[in-house]
Amino acid sequence: MQKWHYLVPIKDLSEPISIKEYLKKHLLIPKHFIYPLRREKRVLVNQKYITMNSLVNNGDEIELTFIKDDFTLPVQNLIADDSHSIDVLYEDDDILVVNKPAGYKTHPNQPGEVNTVLNFCEAYLNEKNQHAYMIHRLDQQTSGALIVGKNPVVVPILVRLIKDKVINRIYTAVVNGQFKQLNGVIESPIGLDPDDKRKRKIDGINPLSAKTAYLVLSTTEQHSIVQLKLFTGRTHQLRVHLASINHPIVGDPLYGQNLNNQQMLLHSTQLHLVRPFYFDTININAPLPNQFNQYT
């Protein structure tokens, strides 16, 4: 039976805490994952089993063993597609980070669908008897650093770290026009566009708060290159926010003018990855595609 094993040194506690609370609050393990660990005594402290209510402190070592039966979906339903090789930016036992090319969907939406980045990752990982798990997505026309899970254990932890903005992503975009201010924050709420179900709109239907910071890196007579940081994760947030201040992303087919079917120039450039269980930070850079060079 397939197993995933972790040996985690306890550190940075201000006071002793129960094992159960440590797993939940510090390691961010979901409650339904903790239950089988407790029931089958697959949590050891300093190589011994003690009850989940026992206290642990800095210097102790927790040993966790997960098995396939712990998960309702131990393998996601992805068809391996080896028609396109992937550009690996980082890989360890739990995580794969790839440089997603523009023009490819992150994941399939229909049964039997292939030719997405997750399908390519599945083929790559199948060679190691592993599987790909979706963590987050990039729009089809957006390129850059994309996190892929390699087992079901880390999926909810990575999703939580992204949601809580512990894992941070920095984007680079080429936009139309020159900025009056070299840096700023856009905080317009984003909702559904009542006229086009594909699109989002400032103050649209059921708007949600949204916050984007921008920094102008360089500018020409007609275009600017900007660095972007998301504080929230709304659909199409960067594209909608930039278009709302009259600086749509070059090549954006929905929120700008794309008369020549040009590639949209939005790229996930930097990823500050925080690893589950160990919570160390790894900084990953995804080089800009060649299409950006003509604007530098």
pLDDT digits (tens, 9 = 90+) for 241-274: 999 999 999 999 999 876 677 889 999 999 999 9
The Cβ of residue 102 has, within 10 Å, a number of other Cβ atoms equal to 19
21 belongs to a structural domain:
yes
Residues 66 and 140 occupy one common structural domain: no
Residues 178 and 156 occupy one common structural domain: no
296 belongs to a structural domain:
no
3-state helix, strand, coil in the chain (%, to 5): 20, 30, 50
205 belongs to a structural domain:
yes
Residues 94 and 7 occupy one common structural domain: no
User: By residue range, what is the domain housing residue 146?
Assistant: 88-164
295 belongs to a structural domain:
no
The Cβ of residue 225 has, within 10 Å, a number of other Cβ atoms equal to 20
Residue 140 main-chain phi, psi, to 5 deg: -55, -40
Residue 34's pLDDT band (cuts 50, 70, 90): very high
* pLDDT tens string 172-190: 999 999 999 999 999 999 9
Catalytic residue among 70, 81, 94, 139: 139
What's the rounded mean pLDDT across residues 184-213? 95
pTM over 0.85: yes
Q: Is the dihedral of CA 106, 112, 113, 115 positive or negative?
A: positive
114 belongs to a structural domain:
yes
Residues 262 and 196 occupy one common structural domain: yes
Q: How long a stretch of residues is the chain?
A: 296
pLDDT at 72: 82
Residues 116 and 184 occupy one common structural domain: no
List, in order, residues 6 or more apart from 165 with CB less than 8 Å away: 230, 231
For residue 36, give both structure tokens: 């089988």
Told to judge if 93 belongs to the known catalytic residues of this protein, a careful annotator would answer: no
> 């910071």: which residue's tokens?
213
Residue 41's CATH number: 3.10.290.10
* pLDDT tens string 104-159: 999 999 999 999 999 999 999 999 999 999 999 999 999 999 999 999 999 999 99
